[in-house]
Amino acid sequence: LDHHWVAQAWLTDVGLPQYSQFFHTHLVDGRLLSTLTHTDLEKHLHVSKKAHQISLLLGIQLLHTLNFDKESRRSECENQNTDPVVWTCHRIIKWIKEIDLKEFADNLQSSGVHGAIMVMDPSFSSDTMAAALCIPSNKAGLDQEVEPLGTPPTLHRQSSLSSSSPSLS
């Protein structure tokens, strides 16, 4: 995975294209991507928001879990609401538009919300999604839509991850 792919395709997939220039300038390729820490992200790549750091690190963890081959699983869920762990930020935006929240969908651009963070971050909830979407608290219905896709309860998280190999540690 060369630095062009990381800076252009991968950062767009995880919903953080605003960091593309920093990753490109520092020639962050797949090998270097695998070694990044919170400190590296903040000090060298100017990723100061903790939520964005977590998003990137979970995206990297997903790449490892899938042996850097997420495309086959991703293509299987492009037109059906399954296997959210491999969803890109753009796939989540598509889903948000399908569940009658289209007026909020574009708020996810550059948010760092992608499938790995929805499924693998135990603190991610429908409230987290509502905040990322900038949904007013009086808009109901997100809980019923988000929950079956891999956000709490934990059972949904585990079933989505169980298709992955190797297992997360």
Does the pLDDT at position 133 exceed 60?
yes
What's the whole-number mean pLDDT along residues 114-126?
Answer: 92
CATH code matching the domain that covers 3-65, chosen among 1.10.238.10, 1.10.15.40, 2.60.40.1230, 1.10.150.50: 1.10.150.50
The residue among 84 and 100 whose pLDDT is bigger is 84
Whether 3-65 and 79-161 share one fold: the answer is yes
What's the whole-number mean pLDDT along residues 53-64?
Answer: 95
For residue 74, the surrounding DSSP H or E stretch is: helix 71-76
Does the pLDDT at position 157 exceed 50?
no
Does the pLDDT at position 123 exceed 60?
yes
What's the whole-number mean pLDDT along residues 142-148?
Answer: 57
Q: What is the pLDDT of residue 127?
A: 85
156 pLDDT tier (thresholds 50, 70, 90): very low
Q: What whole-number distance in Å separates Cα of residue 23 and Cα of residue 44?
A: 9
Q: Output the six-digit token pair for 84.
A: 């959210």
Q: What is the pLDDT of residue 169?
A: 30
5 pLDDT tier (thresholds 50, 70, 90): very high
Q: What whole-number distance in Å separates Cα of residue 106 and Cα of residue 103?
A: 7
Q: Does domain 79-161 have CATH number 1.10.10.10?
A: no
Q: What is the pLDDT of residue 69?
A: 78
What does the pLDDT look like over 61-98, one tens digit per residue? 999 888 887 777 888 788 788 888 999 999 999 999 98
What are the extents of the domains in the chain?
Answer: 3-65, 79-161
111 pLDDT tier (thresholds 50, 70, 90): very high
- Calculate the average pLDDT of the chain: 83
Does the pLDDT at position 120 exceed 80?
yes
